[in-house]
């Protein structure tokens, strides 16, 4: 494989790791109602675990309430069960046609816990970036040996991967810091 292709492939994998981090951080509760809170919750729909977003319309009402309106009314009870079993900590209120989730403002203690969780997710993201960097470096070494590139060229490509990893790590840290600031500033 061409070293330039390996560099591009490594960057794509790092971008995917950052996207996964953003997705994970978006599911951390900030005290405001956000449909992304339900992103990871799956309900049983005719024997298949299905995300709630695929089964229902999720709307924010008044900034503090999520209103879940299933497309198929028979799925209402399964959605309610899935939310109740989740780690969300919000009791669903079923009125027979929609489910309401009241998202209370976070206490100081809860905000600090959520900030710790965001930091932990950030550390997991850094590990993912380091793994992608390591894989890219090993692929680059193989490619440089196969193509008989000079030591200077091989060193140049390795430095490119290192710089890429440093830039993506800085971006990751900025994302995590912004989430922490959002959690602690309320």
Reported confidence tier of residue 186, pLDDT bands at 50, 70, 90: low
Q: Average pLDDT, whole number, for the chain?
A: 88
For residues 94 and 119, state if they share a domain: no
Q: What is the pLDDT of residue 153?
A: 82
The pLDDT value given to residue 77 = 92
Q: Tell me what the mean pLDDT of segment 160-174 comes to.
A: 94
H/E element, 31: none
The domain that holds 164 is classified in CATH as 1.10.132.20
Of 74, 102, 130, the position where a domain reaches its end is: 102
Report angle CA 137, 16, 20 to the nearest 5 degrees.
125
Residue 113: per-residue pLDDT: 87
- The two tokens of residue 58 are 């999720």
Q: What is the pLDDT of residue 144?
A: 81
pLDDT digits (tens, 9 = 90+) for 35-53: 888 888 899 988 899 999 8
- pLDDT, residue 40, reads 83
Give the Cα separation of 25 and 13 in Å (integer).
18
pLDDT of 91 > 80? The answer is: yes
pLDDT at res. 100 = 93
Region at 51 (left for phi over 0; alpha for psi -120 to 50; beta for the rest): beta
**Quick one: 113 and 179 in the same domain?**
yes
**Mean per-residue pLDDT, 138-149:** 85
DSSP lists the bridge partners of residue 50 as 43
Binned at pLDDT 50, 70 and 90, residue 86 comes out as confident
Host domain of residue 147: 3-26+107-184
pLDDT-derived band at 106, boundaries 50, 70, 90: confident
CA 70 distance to own-chain centroid: 25
Domain boundary among 69, 102, 135: 102
Among 49, 70, 102, identify where a domain stops. 102
């Amino acid at each position: 494989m061409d070293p330039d292709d390996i560099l591009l492939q490594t960057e794509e994998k790092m971008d995917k790791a950052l996207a996964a981090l953003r997705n994970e951080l978006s599911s951390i509760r900030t005290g405001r109602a956000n449909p992304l809170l339900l992103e990871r919750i799956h309900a049983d729909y005719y024997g298949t675990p299905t995300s709630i977003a695929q089964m229902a319309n999720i709307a924010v009402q008044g900034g503090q309430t999520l209103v879940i309106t299933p497309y198929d009314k028979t799925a209402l009870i399964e959605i309610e069960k899935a939310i109740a079993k989740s780690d969300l900590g919000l009791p669903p209120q079923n009125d027979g046609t929609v489910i309401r989730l009241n998202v209370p403002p976070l206490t100081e203690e809860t905000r600090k816990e959520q900030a710790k969780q965001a930091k932990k997710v950030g550390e997991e993201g850094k590990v993912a970036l380091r793994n992608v960097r390591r894989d890219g470096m090993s692929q680059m070494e193989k490619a440089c040996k196969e193509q008989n590139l000079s030591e200077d060229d091989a060193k140049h490509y390795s430095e490119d991967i290192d710089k890429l990893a440093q830039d993506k790590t800085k971006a990751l840290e900025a994302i995590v810091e912004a989430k922490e600031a959002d959690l602690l500033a309320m």
